[in-house]
Chains A and B, each alone.
Chain A
Amino acid sequence: MTDFTQNYHPPRRSFGQLALRWLLFALLGLFALFYLMPLFVMVTTSLKSLEEIRTGSLVALPRDVTFEAWSTAWSGTCTGVKCEGLRPYFWNSVLMTVPAVFLATLLGAVNGYVIAQWRFKGANLIFAMMLFGCFIPFQVVLLPMARSLGILGLAGSIPGLIFVHVIYGIGFTTLFFRNYYVTIPAELTKAAKVDGAGFFRIFWSIFLPLSLPIVVVTVIWQFTNIWNDFLFGVSFSQAGTQPVTVALNNIVNSTTGVKEYNVDMAAAIIAALPTLLVYVVAGKYFIRGLTAGSVKG
């Protein structure tokens, strides 16, 4: 760390450089405040009592910090006739998200590999068509998809939800992998072919080991999208398979009942914890990995 900074900070700096450095930090700090503002509101609200929210300003520090809303949101608040909080729905989301992310990433990797390295006539057209699929509004596909799931016998089930998320995830995962693999010189594949390696062999021993950074990007993207999805979750689930976003929505969106903003905010943060965790943990690899990977290419 010391070496690192010394390398880039010459011992003597002119006033201008110093001022520039301060300006840089001021800018970065200001943006950090901008990004943190809503989180600040959510966290402080979740720590207030309902009484304090009702009487005080919504955007102020809590007078008495209480964690009651958090425990209520996790295991006590009503999401229908059951009042068990978000907890029971968490598992549904995990069961749905993990396989869907895995499958979509795998398919994207293989597709990207084919499109970037095994170009054949029409490959670019196929790629463009898959990309355009990223833009189809999900509201449009709800009804025909419901019908299709019924025909496939997947209606209301978690495999059905996985299926839908994989289908509409392929476009993005293919895009990410294709853009990554396209930077890897074609000579690599050619040399391997000369050595007698086949299609899968090259993918498995050459491309996959290089792919960690883009896998991280893809997983982050897919995980966030699938975990946070509400529309598919609400339409293609039934009692017992509803994901956590549907439960969150049930807590937050009371139509004519009393609104418990503290519980709402706590529930929102709890429901987002897995994605937040992915960002905090994988965020490092997100940049570092991506950099390391393509420098080798």
Chain B
Amino acid sequence: MKKSVFAAAVVASLVASNIAKAEPQAEVLHWWTSGGEAKSVAVLQKEFADNGGTWTDMPVAGGGGDAAMTALRARVLSGNAPTAVQLKGPAIAEWYEEGVLADISDVAEAQGWADVLPASIAGHMKCEGTWCAAPVNVHRIDWIWANADILKANDIAMPTTWAEFNTAADTLMAAGIIPLAHGGQAWQDATVFEAVALGLGGAEFFQSAFVDLDMDTLKSDKMVEVFDQMRKLRGYVDGNFSGRDWNLATAMVMNGEAAFQIMGDWAKGEFLAAGKVPGEDFLCVSTPGDGFLYSVDSFAMFNVDGDDKQSGQKLLAELIVGKSFQKVFNLNKGSIPARTDVALDEFDSCAHTSAADMASSNKEGSLLPSYAHGMALRGAQAGAITDVVTAHFNSDMSSADAVQMLADAIANSM
């Protein structure tokens, strides 16, 4: 206790008057390297520099952070850990268990993070009661994007249940339009799968299956139903979907080749980059069913020597959760702020929907971590589920076999 009071005092004095013993330094490992993502992280760099810090950039893109994690392991093993690292979900706790993460509770308490972050998101930032990571944003995963003209031309309303979706898709098929634009990559299959699971099974089912890994739920009839719907969706994608990048699928919706796409809110960036207007050219609605699947990007601080680096970590943590960064960053990236007290006036209608849904599902207890994007489970278990989902989607495996395989894979991954 004494320690954290002391540290808080140090931080306070540092921020207030900038009379630091050493200039704040930070080497930041992240995988936001291009386009809007790079611009977003550059905002942080600028704020860091404005506060007297020196930012050393260590970008490593690829595979949704896989390459960065490879580099991170090598760096930690060689005793040369970066100052701050983009980490998310249960991976934070995994690294904490290795004893390499620094405690940033003093900053968090001084800044009152607990009051401004939704409880479930704050939970991801804590390791055994201490704060060990700083959240940047909230991505919503369970979005369905639609081409407004196609829906109008075929007299289709935005589906609110999966049954309605299937009816709409059949109509579109008959009209010669690809109902679902999809890229056949494992993570995209998993993204669709979790949206279906949440829609058909509801929040409790999702929590029990993909957070608690309850065997009975994993083997339940509901899960068979989820795989049945996946098989249906397989019929609604075109023949060339394998390996397609997600943005090419988005382009299909934009160009009117396909009607719907199920993808996280970064897809919005593609529409906006092509000059499309939300609500007019394209529609953004949550996937059928209730609930909200989030993916929260965050930064964790690693144990490093030197006052300059440690003060850099504290400054960085404070800036990341600061109001101005949360706003500017998320305007660039298409997500919404993790803080609930940031004014959303400059955000678009999709972001407003997202923020409103997050607040309401937070109250209803249906604010859930995305398994497909590494928020709900550790890598081994999440990977095991994805293996089954993608194997089922890309073959003629029966739903019952898939469920059995799912249970086996989970058991084998422990």
A adjacent to B, CB under 8 Å: yes
Binding site for B on A (CB under 8 A): 54-55, 77-83, 142-143, 145-147, 149-150, 155-156, 231, 234-240, 242, 246, 249-260
A-B pairs, 7 with minimum CB distance? A80-B59, A150-B78, A257-B35, A256-B266, A155-B78, A78-B38, A250-B33
The reply on B67 being an interface residue by CB < 8 A is yes
Whether A254 lies near B33 (C-beta < 8 A) is: yes
Which chain B residue shows the least CB distance to A139?
A: B70
Interface size on B, residues (CB 8 A): 50
CA distance A46 to B129 in the complex (A): 51
Query: Which A residues are CB-close (under 8 A) to B357?
Result: none
Query: Which B residues are CB-close (under 8 A) to A257?
Result: 32, 34-38, 266, 269
Query: Which B residues are CB-close (under 8 A) to A236?
Result: 74, 78
Query: Which A residues are CB-close (under 8 A) to B139?
Result: 256
> Which residue, of B59, B255, B266, B270, has the highest number of chain A Cβ atoms within 10 A?
B59
Q: Is the interface of A mostly helix, strand, loop or mixed?
A: loop
The contact sample of 8 A-B pairs, CB cut-off 8 A, is: A54-B254, A80-B57, A155-B80, A238-B82, A251-B34, A253-B34, A255-B37, A257-B36
CA distance A255 to B60 in the complex (A): 11
CA distance A249 to B251 in the complex (A): 23
Q: What is the minimal beta-carbon distance from A214 to any residue of chain B, in angstroms?
A: 34
Whether B62 lies near A238 (C-beta < 8 A) is: no
Whether A81 lies near B38 (C-beta < 8 A) is: yes
Known: A78-B39, A81-B55, A254-B34. A259 touches B247 (CB 8 A): yes
Whether B38 lies near A143 (C-beta < 8 A) is: no
Q: What is the minimal beta-carbon distance from A69 to any residue of chain B, in angstroms?
A: 13
Known: A239-B58, A254-B61, A257-B34. A146 touches B245 (CB 8 A): no
CA distance A254 to B60 in the complex (A): 10
Query: Which B residues are CB-close (under 8 A) to A231?
Result: 70
Query: Which A residues are CB-close (under 8 A) to B55?
Result: 81
Binding site for A on B (CB under 8 A): 27, 30-39, 41-42, 45, 55-65, 67, 70-71, 73-75, 77-80, 82, 139, 245, 247, 251, 254-255, 264, 266, 269-270, 273-274, 333-334
Known: A77-B34, A253-B33, A257-B37. A238 touches B80 (CB 8 A): yes
Which chain B residue shows the least CB distance to A237?
A: B71
CA distance A78 to B79 in the complex (A): 29
Query: Which B residues are CB-close (under 8 A) to A250?
Result: 33-34, 59-62
CA distance A237 to B254 in the complex (A): 40
A78-B34, A80-B57, A234-B70 given; 19 more Cβ-contact pairs under 8 Å: A55-B255, A80-B38, A142-B70, A143-B74, A146-B74, A146-B77, A155-B78, A156-B75, A234-B71, A235-B70, A237-B71, A249-B60, A251-B33, A254-B34, A255-B61, A256-B37, A256-B139, A258-B269, A258-B270
Q: What is the minimal beta-carbon distance from A279 to any residue of chain B, in angstroms?
A: 26
Whether B41 lies near A81 (C-beta < 8 A) is: yes
Known: A146-B75, A156-B80, A238-B27. A258 touches B60 (CB 8 A): no
Q: What is the minimal beta-carbon distance from B407 to any residue of chain A, in angstroms?
A: 29
Q: What is the minimal beta-carbon distance from B69 to any residue of chain A, in angstroms?
A: 11
Known: A142-B70, A239-B58, A249-B61. A150 touches B80 (CB 8 A): yes
Q: What is the minimal beta-carbon distance from A13 to any residue of chain B, in angstroms?
A: 49
Q: Which of B31, B56, B78 contacts A239 (CB 8 A)?
A: B56
